[in-house]
Amino acid sequence: MLYSEKVMDHFKNPRNVGVIENADGIGEVGNAKCGDIMRIYLKIDNEIISDVKFETFGCGSAIASSSMATEMIKGKPLKDALELTNKAVAEALDGLPAHKMHCSVLAEEAIKNAILDYYKKNGIPYDHSQFPDCDSCQHCN
């Protein structure tokens, strides 16, 4: 079977789909090649992600990755969310086919962008090395 049961489950019943009005941070990334877009909304209280929602216009692996990634960061401190890698998301899904790994990268980057948005909006100093420049990122190209 190409996709694990967990991937199919999160694809068919994605968790945390939607929009947060007045979100504290919003991150959007797109993959130029496949045209898929992912948007993450964060509600942040005392550096803790109290709520997270996503909208993904993309393939099943991208939807499953967003669903799993949001589950993994919900209720967690920002610093933990910043450490979430696309590999950890793919592992939590019991793996993705090699040619679908880039879909999980969208989730990692959308979360980072949402946190960066929160830092910028609130004038909070941040470590630039934690935020790779998505424009020059090679994963999606």
Whether 59 sits among the annotated catalytic residues: the reply is: no
Q: Cβ of 15: how many Cβ atoms within 10 Å? A: 16
For the CA atoms of 134, 58, 73, 81, the dihedral, rounded to the nearest 10 degrees, stands at -10
Is the Cβ of residue 78 or residue 106 nearer to ligand FES in the bound state? 106
- What's the min distance (Å) between Cβ of 140 and ligand FES? 8
Is the Cβ of residue 44 or residue 59 nearer to ligand FES in the bound state? 59
User: Does 58 help bind ligand FES (rule: CB under 6 A)?
Assistant: yes
- What's the min distance (Å) between Cβ of 115 and ligand FES? 20
Q: With CB under 6 A as the contact rule, which of the stretches 54-62, 68-76, 107-115, 124-132 interacts with ligand FES?
A: 54-62
Q: In what order do the strands lie in the sheet with 37-45?
A: 25-30, 37-45, 48-57
- What's the min distance (Å) between Cβ of 58 and ligand FES? 5
Q: Binding ligand FES by CB under 6 A: which of 29, 62, 78, 115?
A: 62
User: Does 61 help bind ligand FES (rule: CB under 6 A)?
Assistant: yes
Catalytic residues: 34, 103
Give contact residues for ligand FES (rule: CB under 6 A). 31, 34, 36, 58-59, 61-62, 103, 106
